[in-house]
């Protein structure tokens, strides 16, 4: 039964992580056609759509590469990652989603944060997963009230190690307090067509990087997801472990 569960989680993980960038490729391809089919084609917007298609296709390839390494039990690269760059690069991939859902973005990035050490693609997956969940959660909110906030800050864990906190907050309907502990459980989803695997994957990746993640009610009435990661040099290498092993 455990083996079946593990295979099921891995299969759902592959479907979830590859579907996101491929769906973005399709969405941007359709947008490109609309720009091209106008009485006066807008070549600038069409070019932007094609550029996003290429970026997301490359991301899909990178995700597949990471999943292949996971199956082969290869150790992922642990390199210094600038937190501000991580956030800004992730937001760039979400540009179309933000626009199509009518969501305003607020970035509050603390200056001068130390780097974190990890697999850039995996950490980007976490941030994009959380942001997409937040964007989709605000569909029922009034257009002017749809605000996605991403913040970064410096902190310390109970042992005194320096940590970087990344916060993703929405203005959606939130969740009942008793459902918060189940949000990270595989195959449990509050979305009608959700696989219930995105948050589970995110937790596995964060924990594999020596960090932690939690959900809490936001002051706006929506949800706040906070994940913390040790600053580079703060966590010994043997603390790292493979996610979903």
Percent pLDDT > 70 in the chain is: 78
pLDDT at site 185: 77
pLDDT at site 240: 44
Residue 85 has pLDDT above 50, yes or no: yes
Task: List pLDDT tens digits, range 156-170.
Answer: 777 778 999 999 999
Determine if the pTM surpasses 0.95: no
Residue 149 has pLDDT above 90, yes or no: yes
List the beta bridge partners of residue 80.
117
């Amino acid at each position: 039964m455990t083996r079946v569960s593990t295979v099921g989680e891995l299969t759902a993980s592959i479907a979830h992580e590859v579907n996101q960038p491929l769906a973005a490729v399709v969405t941007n391809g359709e947008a490109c056609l609309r720009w091209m089919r106008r009485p006066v084609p807008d070549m600038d917007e069409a070019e932007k759509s094609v550029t996003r298609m290429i970026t997301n296709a490359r991301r899909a390839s990178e995700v597949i590469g990471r999943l292949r390494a996971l199956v082969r039990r290869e150790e992922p690269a642990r390199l210094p990652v600038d937190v501000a760059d991580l956030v800004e690069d992730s937001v760039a991939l979400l540009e179309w989603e933000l626009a199509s859902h009518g969501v305003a973005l607020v970035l509050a990035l603390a200056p001068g944060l130390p780097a974190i050490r990890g697999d850039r693609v995996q950490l980007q997956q976490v941030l994009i997963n959380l942001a997409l969940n937040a964007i989709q959660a605000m569909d029922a909110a009034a257009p002017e009230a749809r605000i996605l906030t991403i913040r970064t800050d410096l902190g310390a864990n109970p042992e005194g190690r320096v940590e970087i906190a990344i916060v993703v907050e929405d203005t959606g309907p939130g969740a009942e307090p008793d459902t918060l502990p189940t949000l990270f459980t595989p195959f449990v989803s509050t979305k009608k067509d959700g696989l219930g695997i995105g948050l589970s994957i995110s937790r596995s990746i964060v924990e594999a990087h020596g960090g932690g993640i939690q959900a809490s009610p936001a002051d706006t009435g929506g949800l706040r997801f906070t994940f913390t990661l040790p600053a580079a040099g703060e966590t010994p290498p043997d603390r790292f472990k493979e996610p979903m092993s």
